Chain A
């Protein structure tokens, strides 16, 4: 069953695209990531031009995140105050990222920087989460660490204490009751800006950066992180989708609708499973996916390519 995509200007297998959407939706509902780091490479691998893959991926994430956000809102998993601050930061960071991307493109180093960012960030975050979640699962099973029942790892080293003390001295200390934390607005604002910059550079929603940062740095319970991350993701990807359509004419509506139809089923399954699974297991699943993508990218970088030349054609 083939369908012609008017903007990508090629025919695709409907079932394959629905499956991609389902897979990404499942991850989205389960662990609160948009799946941009997964959907973009999958679409490019299918032969869809990279700019269409990135742009349509953003639009699909906006659609999926709206549904998933609604579900998490009903489950009471969104901290709107935290989400709004993160969003404000991510918009500022996103604008700075666009400017940085422009400079890198001019220097001819954009794609190399993006690939290394993917490998370093995904590798670091994935491995850190993997180790921590495995430890948490072992702890939960042996029931030794009763204090860690909140599902948030406790830092014990001197550097982390120093950092916490420094963070506590920052201005504009605010309470975020839904997340159960009290901290300076500057922290989520800077985190949002960092994620926003990465979004512009890497063409992803930023959930795979945001989720671990909120869990480990801001010490917010995993379930609130998932809902709040989706809330922030919804508005970030919506803005990217509008800009990509406006500037590059690269959002393919047929592709996006197919991906969303697939992702709706996946999102519901993911969200239902997510409410039943403990936080450390959710983190383990996200960690495994992130590590798998990082390993795949390292392999791509190290294994000699069959064809060293690559061709992209102008869309018409």
Chain B
């Protein structure tokens, strides 16, 4: 049948299994939105307040489900507003298809109104991108975009469609099935045998896993391997939720703000088995010091990650689940009681060394900030502290709730503390560290799953994209937003305290923003808590409500995220307490 390019886009999206798209209309996508209007019973479009929010929402949709997220924006500013969202997805390997309109082909290159070379702009932050200048190629280009986004290591793909291509008509043949991803890469047998030998020969193996385990659906295989070789596990930020937080072998996130026990166990290991992880500088600290004591087996789907940051003794490219399962069948079943005892010892050390991590700040006067954090009249046991807030939320939230964060101290506290139970229940911007990620991602995750969603955010991050409250309210998103409000940009402030002589340059917010009123103005519920009792009441009300609630939790401005490996530092310089 002869149909317009705009209709081909919508039909192809539906054909590819897309049920929800996020976006924002504009001059060069009016035709596309007209077709979305006509197809609204087959594909739902969620209008956000800003294109960045739409990109993060599509990202959240993809992270929560593993499906490809789709975002649509107009040319020029619409397209550039997607950039942060696309880069966020790229750094965290999230499958995304971004569709942008552009000026008609005849106007391209003339600096026309709202024209931008978005293919040029997004080249370094996409797996691949396309501009479609021939209507005949439109459907197959979109199919290829989906294929690239979900093949191998997932990632974002952008398709730029000039307006005249949306208007032009051509023959369209629907496909009965979504495109199949490229065939998986199987790890070479001899390399896995070598890996098995190294594991069998090791006395203190440690498993370091990353987001690849979630993307590759390898959680069960991972746990089976750890059990078989009797190894403790730690992970990168992106690996969180791949195994239950309370799993007896799991020591928590490692690295800059990771758990003491996982970072230490890794350092004392004689063999590190890195699975679906990329040795980010945040996970390793100082690279020269990092791998002094152990050998590395590195298995990843992306050959370019192998030995990119840290050289590995054995680098294996392959599908992570397949590789782990086959490896598991090759290794000997072992018990390593001495190593296990040492790891248990590290857990005890961790408890001892970090028990004061969050208590120091109440002891002194806060001189330098405007935050309403004077808690002298609140009994110590009732005061809000970050872990206390997170614990309380985890007790109220349903087991399958999706936990989303923004970026900063609250993100690290949530990563360290929240008891994750199932893969894809922790959505956070790891690689790019995008403040403002959370609102969009939470809306997208909830739209995709229908599940209760919790956003941990800070007053800084929330301020970046809080206009998406409008979207959440319109969509009736079952969302509890917990602001850990300390009146400062806490993560930077922490660095200023430790490394910049307490020069609190531009991190004290001095804002008069009333987040409760903000919430109410957007049509959400708003509640403020200054102590644990108020928090309990607020959480009960928020989780009983089916819509969006903002809970503004007032915390101290000098809470620190600990432990901390100082920038450029290593496990030798780990800070577990601020004196």
On whether the two chains bind one another, the answer is no
Q: Which B residues have a C-beta under 8 Å from some C-beta of A? A: none
Q: Which A residues have a C-beta under 8 Å from some C-beta of B? A: none
